[in-house]
Amino acid sequence: MEIAKPKCSACGVEGLTKIAIQTAPTNKNILIASCGDCGNIHSVFAKPFEPPQVPRANQVEIIQ
């Protein structure tokens, strides 16, 4: 059985290393997960968090 890899629905790039996580410009309690290549938004997390608790995978680029 092969493990599924996340894939961007807009540009088709695969793998978690191409997902960028950043805080929203107007509200630092909102995280936006987007494609690191085309910028397509994949997920929005809206809960208070502390930096060590930010949801992310290994080698994900963090943009602040």
C-alpha–C-alpha distance, residues 51 and 41, integer Å:
21
Counted domains in the chain: 1
Q: What per-residue string of b and e applies to 2-16 under the rule 16 or more CB within 10 Å gives b?
A: eeeeeebeeeebeee
Within-domain flag for 9: no
Give the C-alpha separation, 2 to 43, whole Å: 24
Quick check: is 2 in a domain?
no
pLDDT for res 30: 80
Closest CA to 14 of 39, 40, 35, 43: 35
Q: Round the average pLDDT of the chain to a whole number and report it.
A: 69
Residue 10 is assigned to a structural domain of this protein:
no
For 21-50, write each residue's pLDDT tens digit: 777 777 777 878 888 888 888 878 776 655
Mean pLDDT over 54-63 rounds to 50
44, part of any domain: yes
Q: Is residue 33 part of a domain?
A: yes
The full length of the chain comes to 64
Measured between alpha carbons, how far is 43 from 15 in angstroms, rounded to an integer?
Answer: 15
Give the range of the structural domain holding residue 50, as residue numbers without chain letter: 16-63
pLDDT for 59 equals 44
